[in-house]
Every structure is written in structure tokens, then in C-alpha cells.
Amino acid sequence: MAISFETEDACTVFLPETATMLLDPQKAREALERDRAYSRSHLYPLFDATARFACSLLMAPQGCNEFYLPRGPWIISIGDDFHFAWGPKAFPQASLDAAIRAADHAVLITSGPDPYPYRVAATVAVRDRKNALLIETRPNQKDHWKRRIEHIRDADEFATDLPITYCLPFPETKGAA
């Protein structure tokens, strides 16, 4: 089922269907052993959590089909940082809402491939054995994601506030400080 929606300026966006990827632990181990370059990647902590510490890793790009929550503890990586960031409306709502409800910690990245926030998500899953929702987006969608998380968590009377770690770009400065 393809996702389509209206933008603020009354344009209709049709996203191509994309598949989610549930990373197989054995393939993650083999990839890490075969290619040492993975250890320098910002994604290394996620692959390591899957390969060595029995955490599930699901990657969901924009326009993905509905997905089920994997076996916990899990890391679900929401990829809203392609050429355009469309925010929560670019993902299947039922799946996204289930992930927000089941998450124990969220990491919202708007700054690019800095390794620190990926380590935070991996630490939550590996050390704390809790579910981590990792959202990669652009700065213009940060508030949309924050409102979506708050809306879903507030609608559930039994849910607690979801701790969110933000990774934001440095503000642009003009002239000398």
C-alpha cells in the first residue's frame, strides 16, 4: 500500500513503496567480520547490538509498508532523512503509533551522521534491555515528530512520558560572537 498525503501548499505527494528491513543477527556478524569499515560507520553501534547482544534491528524508510514490532529489546530506525523529510505522515500510521507506544526511549536525530545518538539507542537496547525508537529526520521536521510522539503517548492513559534524546545541528552564526 503506497502512502500519499497533501502538503501545506496543497500538493499531493505519492511515496514509492519501500520495504522494511529486519536485520538478521548472523548476517550482521558476518558483515562486521568481513568488512572492518563498518566499525567507522555511524551505524556500527546498531549492527553491533544486533550481531553480538541479541537485539532486534528494524529499518523503516519513508513510504515503507506496515511493519510489526520485532522481538524485544529492539531498535527501530525510522528513516525520514532522504532528499525530503516529510515527517510522521510518510510512514504507516498504525505501525508508527505501535512503535511509539512500545518504545522506552526515543532518539531524534536532525544533525546528520554523528555517532553519539546511535550509541545512545544501542545502549538503551543492549545495557538496559529496553526498546529504542531512532528517528532520523531533518531540522524542519523535528517539531512534527515531537508533537506526534507526545500525541500518541498522551492518548494512552497508561503510558509514561517518553524520554527523548535530541541530536540537533549547531546553529548558524553570522559574524564574530
Q: Which amino acid does the sequence have at 87?
A: G
Mean pLDDT value of segment 138-151: 91
CB atoms within 10 A of CB 139: 11
- Give the pLDDT confidence score for residue 177 in this predicted structure: 54
Flag whether 172 is in a domain: no
Query: Has residue 13 got a pLDDT over 90?
Result: no
Mean pLDDT value of segment 29-42: 85
Q: 42-46, 110-114, 121-125, 145-149: which has the minimum mean pLDDT?
A: 110-114
Flag whether 63 is in a domain: yes
Query: Has residue 31 got a pLDDT over 90?
Result: no
Cα distance between residue 177 and residue 155, in whole Å = 44
Cα distance between residue 5 and residue 147, in whole Å = 18
Q: Of 81, 30, 76, which is closest to residue 57 (Cα–Cα)?
A: 76
Flag whether 107 is in a domain: yes
Q: Domain range for residue 111?
A: 16-167
Q: Which amino acid does the sequence have at 49?
A: A
Flag whether 82 is in a domain: yes
Cα Dmax for the chain: 52
Flag whether 8 is in a domain: no
Q: Within the chain, where are the H helices?
A: 25-34, 44-53, 93-102, 115-126, 142-155
- Give the pLDDT confidence score for residue 28 in this predicted structure: 86
pLDDT digits (tens, 9 = 90+) for 92-123: 999 999 999 999 999 999 987 788 999 999 99
Higher pLDDT, 171 or 167: 167
Quick one: the chain helix, strand, coil %, rounded to 5?
A: 40, 20, 40
Query: Has residue 175 got a pLDDT over 70?
Result: no
Mean pLDDT for the chain?
Answer: 85
Angle subtended by helix axes 142-155 and 93-102, to nearest 10 = 70
The total domain count for the chain is 1
Flag whether 175 is in a domain: no
Query: Has residue 7 got a pLDDT over 70?
Result: no
Flag whether 5 is in a domain: no
Q: 32-41, 71-80, 132-141, 154-163: which has the minimum mean pLDDT?
A: 154-163
- Give the pLDDT confidence score for residue 153 in this predicted structure: 85
Q: Of 126, 145, 127, 124, which is closest to residue 136 (Cα–Cα)?
A: 145
Residue pair 95/132 in contact (Cβ under 8 Å)? The answer is: no
**DSSP for 17-46?**
PB--EE--HHHHHHHHHH-GGGGGSTTHHH
- The H or E element spanning position 14 is strand 12-15
